[in-house]
């Protein structure tokens, strides 16, 4: 009997052949292709991309001059102690001082308080208004009447409300007094009511924007869902909370972010109405910044404050743009 | 057959809700429009009449509000004692100039951004839009410092440039949305017929013209209503309407009648423009995020 145990089941050379063949083919594929010549020269005009960049260039150049350059200038400024005369390099001193500046911290707190209250009131009233106005017989007229305050210059609105709030001849003051809400002192004169006064003005002017946005959203609430829910016996109230509101959510998110940023951006009416006073009861951060930079002309210090404000806005903007690009949001 | 509305019957609850909503809308309308009414009426009243109020709690005395002899003296003081005609011209030039610059360069950039894809496009886009979203005061600190060294503070070109900081990004952002809606096939067809690229671009302009028109109006609206830029960058030589109105408030003497008249002069044209572009207002004010 021959001993076959040492012999492999598969002939030895087959295995090596297989292995060889495989390694061989890899080697062939890995070889650089030397025969490929240069592409034939194109007879078409130059790549269109370049053409589009030429069209873009002027706008980008202008933007670079009025936004990018100032941005770096802002950083540069924030590291200096600038007065009317000239600047002195102080490093991060401006930032260090901010942390011990109670008015700076107070400004942030007031800004948040102001924005959040404004938004809460505007959202509630704005959505309620949109629901009521939607599909009303007088919708066109109502919407037109409602959007009027948005057309008014905020500074003019501030002056107008200054007139209305006046303690001796303001009609709103008279109404509030007659209703027993207010004493004889003007609403702007007291620290605890001044904030309410400026919020009221913001609500007056910008609630219509929320209403308009919500109306646009309401038009897109799927009817079939509403009808199906009604056939199933849901009350109108139930219908609103379980169908309308969830469908409205993406547009409202946009509205909230936009208004939030606008509260950071515009201080025109507040500046005219109270100028941050009485004391510093309404001195929200942008107003404080305005004071530092353009009343006392401490541009370096102002630049440091402006950078903190910008940082928060950029983060908010990043969120907003993400919401914009979400297909579920308002874009149809 | 088209689907019919689901018929809903009036229940006590819906009836109450209906009345409540009517009351709500009426109250809100009064609240919204009353300041306008006060502004218009007061601008035609003598100051003594404008300051007249009924006694506290005397609701039947509201009629006082409508008892006055109309006078145009506040408007006269605006244009004779103060040079409001100049301020109107300043406002028009600043707002119009920046709108025109923004729309020319903005539409070129928006068109090319809508037609070409490249790496970093999203970042470029975010930079453009964040310029628009930045707080006005924060932008103004470096801008003021730069403009002062260029002697642009207090001049109309300076103000136009300042307004362009927020109008140009806005233009690019909004107009890109309009160009995205125009199919590239139209330009291709034009080019097949022998048009150059620029002619092809010009050929689609009529398609976006309504959008561009509405956008120009929006730019004018923003710039016209601006106070901060005008107060700081335009102070002195380039006084616009809101700033001039604000300056009627003097420590010793607040000229309320003239302020109300100036308010009417500033607000009326914008209300009219707002009605003209009513259709595009939501798109414009939400930066294209919400369409009607």
Structure confidence at residue B4 (pLDDT):
57
User: Do both A66 and A159 map to the same domain?
Assistant: no
Please tell me which residue, A30 or A161, carries the higher pLDDT value: A161
User: Do both A58 and A200 map to the same domain?
Assistant: no
Rounded to whole angstroms, how far apart are CA atoms A147 and A163?
Answer: 21
Contact B35 A164 (CB under 8 A): yes
User: Do both A238 and A316 map to the same domain?
Assistant: yes
* Continuous segment of H or E residues that includes residue A244: none
Q: Is residue A292 part of a domain?
A: yes
Q: Is residue A26 part of a domain?
A: no
Contact A174 B292 (CB under 8 A): no
Contact A67 B165 (CB under 8 A): yes
Q: Is residue A256 part of a domain?
A: yes
Structure confidence at residue A206 (pLDDT):
92
Contact B138 A306 (CB under 8 A): yes
Q: How confident is residue A39, by pLDDT bands cut at 50, 70 and 90?
A: low
User: Do both A218 and A302 map to the same domain?
Assistant: yes
Structure ipTM: 0.89
Q: Looking at chain A, which runs of residues are DSSP E strands?
A: 80-82, 87-89
User: Do both A190 and A313 map to the same domain?
Assistant: yes
The domains located in chain B, with CATH, are 12-71 (no CATH), 75-285 (1.10.3720.10)
Q: What share of chain B is helix, strand, coil (3-state, %, to 5)?
A: 75, 0, 25
User: Do both A213 and A251 map to the same domain?
Assistant: yes
Q: Count other C-beta atoms under 10 Å from residue B272's C-beta.
A: 10
Q: How confident is residue A38, by pLDDT bands cut at 50, 70 and 90?
A: low
Tens of pLDDT along A222-254? 888 888 887 887 777 788 888 888 888 888 888
Contact A306 B169 (CB under 8 A): no
Q: How far is B166 from chain A (nearest CA, A)?
A: 9
For chain A, how many structural domains are there in total?
2
Q: Is residue A29 part of a domain?
A: no
Is pLDDT of A4 > 80? no
Query: From A255, which residue of chain B is nearest by alpha-carbon distance?
Result: B286
Closest by Cβ to B56, choosing from A178, A235, A306: A178
Contact A163 B259 (CB under 8 A): yes
Tens of pLDDT along B144-164? 888 988 988 889 999 999 999
The pair of structure tokens assigned to B284 is 């414009």
Is pLDDT of A270 > 70? yes
Contact B116 A154 (CB under 8 A): no
Instruction: List CB contacts (< 8 A) between B290 and chain A.
Output: 213, 216-217, 251, 254-255, 330
User: Do both A70 and A121 map to the same domain?
Assistant: no
User: Do both A125 and A70 map to the same domain?
Assistant: no
Q: Which of A306, A301, A300 is nearest to A285 (CA)?
A: A306
Tens of pLDDT along A144-184? 898 899 999 999 999 999 999 988 888 888 888 888 887 77
Q: Is residue A265 part of a domain?
A: yes
Least confident of A186-200, A259-273, A286-300, A313-327: A313-327
User: Do both A155 and A248 map to the same domain?
Assistant: yes
Q: Is residue A332 part of a domain?
A: no
Average pLDDT of every residue of chain B: 86
Is pLDDT of B231 > 70? yes
Query: From B285, which residue of chain A is nearest by alpha-carbon distance?
Result: A209
pTM comes to 0.84
Collect contacts of B82-85 with beta carbons under 8 A, ≥24 apart.
B82/B244, B82/B248, B82/B258, B84/B241, B84/B244, B84/B262, B84/B265
Contact B6 A227 (CB under 8 A): yes
Structure confidence at residue A105 (pLDDT):
92
Q: Could you list the residue range(s) of the whole structural domain that residue A68 is in?
A: 49-78
Is pLDDT of A17 > 80? no
Q: How confident is residue B181, by pLDDT bands cut at 50, 70 and 90?
A: confident
Structure confidence at residue B1 (pLDDT):
41
User: Do both A290 and A177 map to the same domain?
Assistant: yes
Q: Is residue A245 part of a domain?
A: yes
Structure confidence at residue A329 (pLDDT):
47
The DSSP call for residue A85 is: S
Q: Which of B286, B209, B233 is nearest to B90 (CA)?
A: B233
B36, B264, B290, best to mutate vs chain A, most A CBs in 10 Å: B290
The pair of structure tokens assigned to A201 is 């003005």
Structure confidence at residue B25 (pLDDT):
92
User: Do both A74 and A207 map to the same domain?
Assistant: no
Structure confidence at residue B89 (pLDDT):
93
B84, B97, B133, B188, best to mutate vs chain A, most A CBs in 10 Å: B133
User: Do both A151 and A292 map to the same domain?
Assistant: yes
Q: How far is A102 from chain B (nearest CA, A)?
A: 20
CA angle B1, B7, B8 (to 5 degrees): 160
Q: What is the CATH number of the domain that holds A198?
A: 1.10.3720.10
Rg of chain B (C-alpha set)? 25
Q: Is residue A250 part of a domain?
A: yes
Structure confidence at residue B174 (pLDDT):
86
Q: How large is the average pLDDT for residues B201-205?
A: 87
Structure confidence at residue A158 (pLDDT):
93
B289, B291, B292, best to mutate vs chain A, most A CBs in 10 Å: B289
Tens of pLDDT along A89-132? 777 888 888 888 888 999 999 999 999 999 999 999 999 999 88
Query: From A173, which residue of chain B is nearest by alpha-carbon distance?
Result: B56
Is pLDDT of A279 > 60? yes
């Amino acid at each position: 009997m021959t001993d076959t145990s040492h012999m492999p089941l598969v002939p030895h050379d087959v295995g090596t052949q297989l292995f060889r063949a495989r390694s061989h083919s890899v080697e062939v594929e890995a070889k650089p292709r030397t025969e490929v010549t240069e592409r034939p020269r194109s007879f078409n005009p130059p790549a269109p991309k370049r053409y589009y960049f030429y069209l873009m260039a002027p706008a980008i150049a202008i933007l670079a001059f009025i936004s990018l350059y100032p941005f770096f200038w802002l950083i540069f400024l924030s590291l200096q102690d600038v007065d009317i005369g000239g600047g002195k390099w102080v490093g991060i001193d401006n930032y260090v001082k901010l942390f011990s500046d109670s008015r700076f911290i107070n400004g942030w707190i007031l800004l948040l308080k102001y924005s959040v209250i404004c938004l809460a009131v505007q959202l509630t009233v704005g959505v309620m208004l949109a629901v009521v106005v939607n599909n009303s017989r007088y919708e066109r007229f109502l919407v037109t009447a409602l959007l009027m305050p948005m057309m008014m210059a905020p500074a003019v609105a501030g002056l107008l409300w200054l007139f209305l709030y006046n303690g001796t001849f303001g009609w709103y003051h008279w109404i509030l007094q007659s209703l027993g809400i207010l004493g004889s002192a003007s609403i702007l004169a007291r620290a605890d009511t001044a904030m309410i006064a400026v919020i009221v003005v913001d609500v007056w002017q910008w609630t219509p924007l929320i209403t308009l946005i919500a109306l646009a959203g309401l038009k897109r609430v799927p009817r079939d869902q509403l009808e199906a829910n009604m056939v199933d016996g849901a009350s109108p109230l139930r219908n609103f909370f379980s169908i309308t509101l969830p469908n409205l959510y993406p547009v409202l998110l946009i509205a909230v972010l936009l208004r939030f940023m606008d509260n950071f951006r515009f201080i025109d009416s507040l500046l005219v109405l109270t100028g941050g006073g009485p004391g510093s009861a309404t001195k929200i951060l942008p107003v404080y910044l305005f004071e530092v930079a353009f009343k006392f002309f401490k541009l370096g210090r102002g630049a440091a404050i402006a950078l903190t404000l910008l940082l928060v806005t950029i983060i908010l903007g990043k969120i907003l743009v993400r919401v914009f690009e979400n297909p579920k949001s308002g874009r149809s | 057959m088209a689907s019919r509305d689901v018929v809903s019957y009036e229940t006590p609850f819906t009836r109450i809700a209906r009345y409540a909503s009517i009351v709500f809308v009426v109250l809100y309308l009064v609240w919204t429009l009353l300041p306008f009414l006060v502004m218009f009426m007061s601008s035609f009243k003598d100051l003594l009449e404008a300051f007249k109020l009924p006694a506290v709690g005397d609701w039947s005395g509201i009629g006082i509000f409508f008892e006055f002899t109309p006078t145009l003296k506040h408007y006269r003081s605006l244009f004779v004692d103060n040079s409001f005609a100049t301020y109107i011209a300043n406002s028009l030039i600043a707002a119009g100039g920046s709108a025109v610059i923004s729309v020319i360069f903005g539409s070129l950039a928006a068109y090319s951004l809508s037609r070409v894809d490249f790496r970093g496009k999203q970042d470029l886009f975010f930079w453009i839009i964040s310029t628009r979203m930045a707080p006005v005061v924060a932008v103004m600190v470096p801008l003021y410092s730069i403009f002062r060294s260029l002697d642009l503070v207090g001049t109309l070109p300076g103000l136009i440039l300042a307004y362009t900081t927020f109008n140009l990004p806005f233009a690019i952002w909004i107009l890109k949305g309009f160009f995205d809606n125009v199919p590239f096939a139209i330009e291709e067809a034009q080019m097949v017929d022998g048009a150059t690229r620029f002619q092809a671009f010009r050929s689609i302009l009529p398609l976006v013209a309504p959008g561009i028109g509405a956008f120009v109006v929006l730019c004018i609206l923003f710039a016209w209503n601006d106070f901060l830029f005008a107060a700081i960058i335009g102070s002195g030589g380039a006084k616009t309407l809101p700033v001039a109105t604000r300056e009627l408030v003097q420590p010793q003497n607040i000229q309320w009648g003239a302020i109300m008249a100036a308010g009417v002069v500033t607000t009326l044209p914008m209300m009219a423009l707002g009605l003209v572009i009513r259709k595009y207002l939501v798109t414009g004010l939400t930066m294209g995020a919400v369409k009607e």
